[in-house]
Amino acid sequence: MSVKQHQEFVQDNLDTQEQALKEVLSMAGLVDLPDLTSDDLLQSPNHESLYAIWAARLFSRPIFFRRMTKKRHRFGAIDLNILANIFGLEQSDDIEESDEQRFIYFKHAQALKVKLEPLNPGFNGLLNTNLDQLANLIGLSQLDKTLLGFFCLLSNNPDFIEFTGAAGELNRQDLQQALSVMLNVSTQDVSIALSRDSKLFRTGLLKLDQSNNGEIQRKVDLLSGLTDVLMSESNDPLELLEQYFFRTKKAELSLENYPHLEQDAQALITYLTNQKGMAGVNILIHGEPGTGKTQWVKTLAEHLNSSLYEVSAEDEDGDPLIRDRRVSVYRLAQSALAHQGQSLVLFDEVEDVFPSEPSFFMSARGRGSNSKAWINKLLEENPVPTFWISNKIHHIDPAYIRRFDMVIEVSTPPKSVRRHIIESALEGLNVRAKWIDQLSGERQLVPAVIERSAKVVRTIQGHATGPHLVEKQVLGFVNKTLQAQGKRPIKLKSTQSEMTYSLDYVNVDADIHKLVDGVKASQTGRFCLYGLPGTGKTAFGHHLAEALEKPLILKRASDLLSPYVGEAEQNIAAAFEEAIREDAVLQIDEADSFLRSREKARQSWEVTQVNELLTQMESFEGIFIASTNLMDDLDQAAMRRFDLKLEFKPLTADQAWSLFNMVLEEPVLTVREAKEYKSRLAQLSLLTPGDFAVVLRKLVISGGSLEPEAALVELAKENAFKPKRLKQSGMGFLAPVKD
C-alpha cells in the first residue's frame, strides 16, 4: 500500500486512526507512537504533556496546519524534528521533509489530542503553586492563570517558541484564535482576558501589542523576569514579587530631624489617617537630590504604623527599568497591596514617568491620543496611597501635577539641622567646631553629600589626622560632588587669620547697637546698606542673623541673574519664599544689579526685575537687607521701600587706631611711638575693616611679622588702591567713580 493510500484510509476511518498511524509511521521511517499513560503525563516535571496537547490542538486544526507547513513567512515551514520533540516521537536519520511527512504529523497530532484530552494536563510543581499564590493575592481568574502559565512555559522552551513561530505573523484576531485553540477556551474569553481593561493588563503582568503583527511570543509582552519568579520557591506571596516592589528598610531619622517640614508632616499625617481607603490618593514630594526626601517619607510611614513598599527602578539583572516597565510594576504593586492592610507605595525618581508632553507616552501599546487620559486614570484609581518622589518637577506637565492631592517641597534643612547632620556625619573625625559652624552655614550642602564625603574621609583618615587636613579632605570631596552637579564649590573663610567681627568697627550715622536691639524686638525691617567695599555690609547681615538666632540666606547677583527671560524674576521670588519658609534673614548682595532706575532701562527685563523685587519686598514681613557698593542711578521708588538706608563709611581715626592695636602681636609702644603711629594711621582716611583683614592674611601667608611698622606699610598700600576722587575729597563712598 502506498503512502497516499494510507492517508486516504486514515482520513476515512478516524475511529481506527491510531492503528493506521502506527502503520504509516513505520513506513515513513518513524518509530511507533509511544505508549502514553496517565501517570507519565501528570507526573512530568517539565510540563511535556502541556506542550504536547497545546501543539497537538494547534497543529491538528486545518487552518493552522496550512499556515505552519507553507514557506510563506520568515520562519518557513515547521521543522519536523521540532514536532517530533514536542510530540514525544523518536526520530530516524532518514526522515525527509515533505508534504506527505507533514500530513502524517497532522494525523499524529489528531490522535495525540484524542489521547491527552481526557487526562486534562495542567501546571504542576512550583509553577502551579506560585500561580495559585499570585492569583489569590491579586484576584486572577482561572483563564488569567492559564495565560500566565502558558507564556511562562512558552518563553522557557526554544522548541515550543519555534513551533508557535511557524504559525507566522498574527494579528490580534489570529492570536486570539490560536490561543483559544491551544488552551481550549472560547475566543471571546481570550479577547476579554487580553483587553486593556483586563486584570492582567491593569496589574502590568501582561500586555498585548495591538498595533503590529507578530509571532505569538512577540505579540504578547510578559512582565520582565516573571518567568523566573514563577519558577522560584517562595514562602509568601509578597516575597514572590519582591523583585518588583519591596518593603523599605527602617527609617534612619525621625520627624524631629525635619523641623522645617513640621507643618507639612502634620497635615499629611492627618490627611492619610482620615482618607479611609479612598482611591486616588497621591502625594508628590520634590526637592533637589540629597535633601532627604525618601527618608522623610519613611519616617511618615512609621509614624502612621504603615508598611511602605518601594517600586523597583531596576530589573532582575540590575539594569534600569524603562518607564513603561516601571509603570507596569507600579500597577502590580497596587493590585498586590490593595488588601494588605495599612500599606503605602513609594515611587522614586518619577521624572521619566511624567514627561512634559503627553505624546511622549504614545507607543506601540495602543495608548494613542488618549495617553494623557491614561496617565490621569493611573492617578485616579490607585487603591493604595502613593508617594511620588522627584528631584525636579518643572518639566512635568501641569495637567499631571494638578492631579496630586498634595505637592510638598523638601528643601535644604535649616542651619541648626544641617549642623546636627554634619556633627553626626563627622563624628570621630578631628575637625573644629568653628569649621563645622561655617560649613553648616552653606545652604547648598545637602545631607547626602556631607554624609558620603565623611564616609570616605573616615576610611582614609590615616593619611590626614590633623584638623586642617581632615577638614581640607572633607571639603574637597564635598566640592567635587557639588561641581559635578553644576553647583559652585564651597569656599570657607580661613580661621587662621580671621578677624572677629564687632559692631565697634562699623561707621554709620546711627547707633548701630540700638538698631540691632530694635530689630530683635520688632523682628522686621527693610534695610539698604551701601558704601565702600570692606566696610562690613555683608558681615553685618551675618551678625544680625546670629543676634536674632535666625539663619541667613545670602544671595549674590550670580545666584539670581539668568540669561533666560523671566528666570531672574523666578529666582528673586524663590529667594523670598525660601526666607519665609526658613524664617531667615534675607540679604541680597550686589543689589544694584536689580535696583537700577526703570526710567533709564533699555530692556524690558530690566524693568520686570525691579518690579519683581519691589513686589516681593512689599509683601515680605521678615528682615530684608540689600547691600551695594553703588548708589548712583538706583531706582527711587525702590529706595522709598527701605525703612533705613545706611551708609557704611571708612573707619574713623579712633576706630582705625583701635583696630590697629588689636591685630598687632602684643605691641609694646612708647608714648612717642604710639603718637607717631596714630598720626600716620590717621592720614589713611579710607581704611575699612576689610583692609585690616587683608593685611592680616597677607602677613600670615607671607610669613611676615605682625609688627607696627610692617602692618602700617601694608595698610598704606591698601589705602593707596582707593579711587583718587575719594582720597581727594576725604568723603565716604556715595557713588561710583566715573572716569
- The predicted pLDDT at position 56 comes to 92
* H or E, element range at 516: helix 512-522
Distance CA 67, CA 237 (A): 41
Terminal alpha carbon distance of the chain:
120
Q: How far apart are CA 245 and CA 249, in angstroms?
A: 13
What digits encode the pLDDT tens for the residues 674-714? Answer: 889 889 999 998 999 988 888 888 877 776 667 888 888 88
Cα–Cα distance measured from residue 327 to residue 311, given in angstroms and rounded to the nearest whole number:
9
The residues with which 286 forms a beta bridge, in sequence order, are: 390, 409
Using the predicted structure, report yes or no on whether residue 30 has a pLDDT greater than 60.
no
Whether the per-residue pLDDT at 528 is higher than 80: the answer is yes
Closest CA to 404 of 281, 273, 300, 270: 281
443 grid coordinates: 545652604
In this prediction, residue 43 carries a pLDDT of 55
Q: What is the pTM of this model?
A: 0.67
- From 41-45, 459-463, 479-483, the region with the lowest mean pLDDT: 41-45
The pLDDT value recorded for residue 693 is 87
The model's pLDDT over 560-589, given as tens digits with 9 standing for 90+, comes to 877 777 788 888 898 998 888 778 899 998
Beta strands in 194-323 (DSSP E): 206-208, 220-222, 245-247, 282-286, 307-311
Tally of helices (H runs) and strands (E runs) in the chain: 36, 13
Q: What is the pLDDT of residue 76?
A: 62
Tell me: pLDDT of 271 over 70.
yes
Average pLDDT of the residues in 464-472: 79
Give the separation between CA 71 and CA 78, rounded to whole angstroms.
9
Mean pLDDT, residues 411-420 taken together: 79
Cα–Cα nearest to 452, from 240, 678, 289, 688: 289
Tell me if residue 247 falls in helix, strand or coil.
strand
Rounded CA Rg of the chain: 39
Give the pLDDT band of residue 427 (cuts 50, 70, 90).
confident
Distance CA 506, CA 652 (A): 9
Does residue 645 come out as left (phi exceeding 0), alpha (psi in the -120 to 50 range) or beta? Answer: beta
- So what's the pLDDT on residue 7? 42
SS3 track for 450-511: HHHHHHHHHHHHHHCCCHHHHHHHHHHHHHHHHHHCCCCCCCCCCCCCCCCCCHHHCECCCC
| CA distance to 191, 222, 329, 650, per residue, from 226 (Å) | 22, 7, 11, 75
Name residue 596's beta-bridge partners.
Answer: 634
Average pLDDT of span 309-331: 81
DSSP letter string over 314-370?
B-TTSPBPPHHHHHHHHHHHHHHHTTSSSEEEEE---TTTS-SSGGGG--TTTTGGG
> Nearest 5°: phi and psi at 371?
-60, -40
What is the per-residue pLDDT for 380? 85
Helices (H), 599-652: 604-619, 636-640
